[in-house]
């Protein structure tokens, strides 16, 4: 595949072209996300009117019609725009070599703008992520990126999409690394950062740089307050596990229903949201304004808990019904309102001085997110990035990790893993990828200090020692560092030729064996076996200190494979 002419003239490497393209992806995604945001706002104003809830008929009918229209669009016009953006991006990364069809971008944009604008209790970030991923894939194909780069370009676009939608570049990069890629990959990270930053800068150029939420000042007034934050995290964590289970249960129930119900469910979910919206307009759409109001203490604890639980139900119904939309904004809203409600309740009965309700709302923003998406690092940095206050980190860490562990304990599968399984995709779980502990040399090597001759050992003495121990060979340390194998046959030959009194270091050839360290992963170690079937294991602090040896057979045994495979496969013998 040839790159475009002007890029050929620039003589850029594939990596450099990918980085250049990342900026372009960021700019285009940023522009589209601005249009997406504008479309949601305008559809919302024209369909639901202002103030929301003032006209009950419009408030009820708007989500009914919007959810139905959006579901019909993805069912019949843009079927590639269906499903979660995160799952689609992971599928592009692991299954389809980075291919995300352009029709998915158009479908996601139009369907989600209609559903979110009309009031569905879902959010715009996941669709934005999908739009970014589709743009990246399209531009990657257009610019004829090589196959490996094309595979990894869709997460780059995903970061741009989420960064522009949420106005948080750090969170976007961390989320993509933590949830989609599953590991720190240096080659993707540079492009991801560039795309996220350029998308955010582009979006800010049009929408201004005012943050998503106006954050009240935060102050931890008493160390014991952390216990309340921890307890809030535990409760929100349990709620997040229930959220995942409720969606799975409803989706499974849906599968048992006749096909025509697929047209009725979105209308039913819209009706539920609309009817509740007459009294609680705060739960309609992405609900960012309500989170902002909660942050500034506009609601009492009863209202906040009611908002959180009602949004929980509406989001579960909307999402399970097949209405297009994302889960980020609802998780932020549920976490913020439930966290704020619990915090306000605790403040009333607490014997210690407590920080304001806004602080609990702010901390709560990330807790439900951490429990549902199982992305604890992203959730912590999201609170930090949104608040711009590093003092918030301590309670956020306590609450988010509590939520994360409780949620994991109650429900082993994270939201996206559950969703992938429901959609019949066997995608690698980012959580499992992160936590997979590779087998290391220390798990397989044979320890023992008496494996080596010193460099000054005479050939005769070495031969005598081998005969005494009944060994055929042993490692010999080299004076300038490193190790070599010396066998009894070699030593006999040397002694026969009159070199018996010479030191081994002078007699052995210069070539040295590669050596291993105990913390080295076994798959890395395996690549070092070329001629020898056993390699020395040394200390990282003193490479002359032999800790043991590692035969290939022991590696295979550690992987649970029979030792004869080494010979059968033609590996080192």
Partner 1 sequence: MLAALTARQTQVRVAAIFGGIAALFAATGFAVRWEHAERHGRAARHFSRANALDRQHRLADALREYRTAVLIDREREEYQLGLADALRRAGRPAEAEAYLRSMLERNPAHGRANLALARIRAQQVLTNQESADAADAAYRRAIAGDWPPPGPGPAPRLEWVAFLGETRRSSLQTAQLLILAQELPGSEARRLAAAAALAPAASEERRQLIDRLRAAVQP
Enumerate binding residues for partner 1 (CB under 8 A): 2, 4-6, 24, 27-28, 31-32, 34-35, 38-39, 41-42, 45, 50-51, 54, 139, 142, 206-208, 210, 214-217, 289, 292, 296-298
Q: Contact 152/99 with Cβ under 8 angstroms?
A: no
Name the minimum Å distance from CB 37 to partner 1.
8
Name the minimum Å distance from CB 295 to partner 1.
9
Name the minimum Å distance from CB 28 to partner 1.
6
Name the minimum Å distance from CB 46 to partner 1.
9
Q: How many CA within 13 A on the CB side of residue 169? A: 19
Beta carbon nearer to partner 1, 79 or 300? 300
From 366, 235, 257, select the one nearest 320 (Cα to Cα). Answer: 257
Rounded CA-CA distance 433/426 in Å is 13
Rounded CA-CA distance 334/350 in Å is 23
Name the minimum Å distance from CB 54 to partner 1.
8
Name the minimum Å distance from CB 224 to partner 1.
25
Determine the Cα angle at 111 with ends 109 and 116, to 5°.
Answer: 95
Name the minimum Å distance from CB 4 to partner 1.
5
Name the minimum Å distance from CB 294 to partner 1.
10
Total Cβ atoms within 10 A of residue 65: 17
Beta carbon nearer to partner 1, 217 or 481? 217
Name the minimum Å distance from CB 380 to partner 1.
23
Total Cβ atoms within 10 A of residue 22: 28
| H/E run at residue 546 | strand 546-551
Q: Contact 561/523 with Cβ under 8 angstroms?
A: no
Beta carbon nearer to partner 1, 289 or 446? 289
Name the minimum Å distance from CB 237 to partner 1.
29
Name the minimum Å distance from CB 285 to partner 1.
12
Rg of the chain over Cα atoms, rounded to whole angstroms, equals 30
From 262, 374, 245, select the one nearest 324 (Cα to Cα). Answer: 262
Beta carbon nearer to partner 1, 228 or 361? 361
Name the minimum Å distance from CB 21 to partner 1.
11
| H/E run at residue 477 | strand 473-477
Phi and psi angles of residue 543, each rounded to the nearest 5 degrees, phi first: -70, -15
Rounded CA-CA distance 506/34 in Å is 73
Peptide bond into 51 cis (omega under 30): yes
Q: Contact 227/390 with Cβ under 8 angstroms?
A: no
Beta carbon nearer to partner 1, 117 or 274? 117
Beta carbon nearer to partner 1, 344 or 486? 344
- Sheet holding 473-477: strands in order across? 452-453, 473-477, 483-487
Calculate the alpha carbon distances from 212 to 53, 118, 132, 185 in Å. Answer: 23, 21, 20, 29
Rounded CA-CA distance 169/96 in Å is 27
Beta carbon nearer to partner 1, 297 or 514? 297
Name the minimum Å distance from CB 30 to partner 1.
9
Beta carbon nearer to partner 1, 260 or 390? 390
Name the minimum Å distance from CB 91 to partner 1.
26
Q: Contact 558/439 with Cβ under 8 angstroms?
A: yes
Q: Contact 509/496 with Cβ under 8 angstroms?
A: no
Taken in order 30, 36, 40, 45, the sign of the CA dihedral is: positive
DSSP conformation letters of 230-247: HHHHHHHHHHHHHHHHHH
Beta carbon nearer to partner 1, 5 or 186? 5
Rounded CA-CA distance 82/251 in Å is 15
From 357, 296, 278, 286, select the one nearest 328 (Cα to Cα). Answer: 286
Beta carbon nearer to partner 1, 5 or 541? 5
Crossing angle, helix 357-373 and helix 376-387, to 10 degrees?
150
């Amino acid at each position: 595949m040839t790159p475009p002419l002007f890029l050929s003239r620039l003589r850029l490497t594939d990596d450099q072209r990918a980085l250049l393209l990342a900026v372009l992806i960021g700019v285009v995604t940023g522009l589209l996300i601005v249009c997406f945001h504008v479309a949601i706002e305008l559809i919302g104003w024209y369909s639901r009117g202002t103030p929301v809830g003032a006209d009950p008929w419009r408030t009820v009918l708007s989500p009914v019609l919007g959810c139905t229209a959006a579901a019909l669009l993805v069912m019949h016009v843009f079927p590639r725009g269906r499903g979660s953006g995160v799952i689609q991006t992971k599928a592009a990364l692991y299954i389809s070599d980075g291919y995300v069809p352009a029709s998915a971008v158009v479908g996601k944009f139009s369907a989600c703008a209609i559903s979110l604008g009309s009031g569905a209790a879902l959010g715009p970030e996941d669709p934005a992520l999908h739009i970014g991923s589709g743009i990246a894939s399209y531009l990657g194909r257009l610019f004829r990126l090589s196959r490996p780069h094309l595979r990894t370009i869709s997460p780059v676009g995903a970061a741009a999409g989420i960064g522009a939608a949420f106005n948080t570049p750090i969170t976007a990069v961390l989320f993509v690394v933590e949830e989609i890629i599953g590991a720190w990959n240096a080659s993707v990270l540079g492009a991801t950062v560039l795309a996220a930053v350029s998308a955010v800068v582009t979006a800010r150029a049009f929408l201004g740089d005012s943050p998503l939420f106006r954050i009240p000042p935060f102050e931890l007034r008493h160390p014991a307050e952390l216990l309340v934050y921890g307890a809030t995290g535990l409760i929100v964590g349990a709620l997040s596990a229930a959220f995942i289970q409720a969606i799975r249960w409803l989706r499974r129930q849906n599968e048992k229903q006749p096909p025509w119900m697929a047209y009725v469910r979105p209308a039913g979910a819209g009706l539920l949201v609309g009817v509740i919206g007459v009294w609680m307009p705060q739960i309609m759409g992405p609900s960012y304004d309500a989170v902002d109001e909660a942050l500034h203490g506009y609601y009492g604890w009863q209202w906040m808990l009611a908002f959180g639980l009602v949004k929980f139900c509406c989001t579960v119904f909307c999402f399970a019904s097949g209405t297009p939309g994302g889960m980020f904004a609802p998780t932020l809203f549920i976490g913020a309102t439930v966290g704020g409600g619990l915090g306000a309740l605790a403040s009333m009965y607490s014997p210690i001085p407590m920080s304001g309700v806004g602080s609990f709302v702010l901390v709560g923003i990330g807790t439900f997110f951490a429990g549902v998406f199982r992305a604890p690092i992203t959730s912590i940095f999201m609170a930090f990035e949104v608040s711009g206050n590093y003092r918030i980190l301590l309670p956020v860490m306590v609450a988010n990790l509590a939520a994360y562990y409780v949620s994991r304990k109650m429900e082993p599968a994270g939201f996206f893993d559950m969703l992938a399984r429901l959609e019949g995709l066997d995608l690698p779980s980012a959580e499992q990828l992160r936590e997979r502990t590779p087998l290391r040399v220390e798990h397989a090597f044979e320890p023992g200090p008496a494996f080596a001759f010193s460099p000054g050992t005479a050939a005769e003495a070495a031969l005598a020692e081998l005969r005494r121990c009944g060994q055929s060979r042993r490692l010999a340390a080299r004076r300038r560092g490193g190790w070599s194998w010396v066998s009894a046959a070699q030593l006999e030959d040397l002694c026969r030729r009159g070199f018996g009194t010479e030191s081994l270091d002078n007699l052995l050839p210069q070539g040295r064996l590669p050596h291993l360290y105990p913390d080295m992963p076994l798959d890395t170690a395996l690549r070092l076996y070329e001629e020898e079937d056993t390699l020395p294991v040394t200390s990282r602090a003193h490479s002359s200190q032999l800790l043991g040896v590692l035969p290939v057979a022991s590696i295979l045994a550690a992987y649970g494979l029979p030792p004869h495979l080494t010979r059968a496969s033609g590996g080192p013998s």
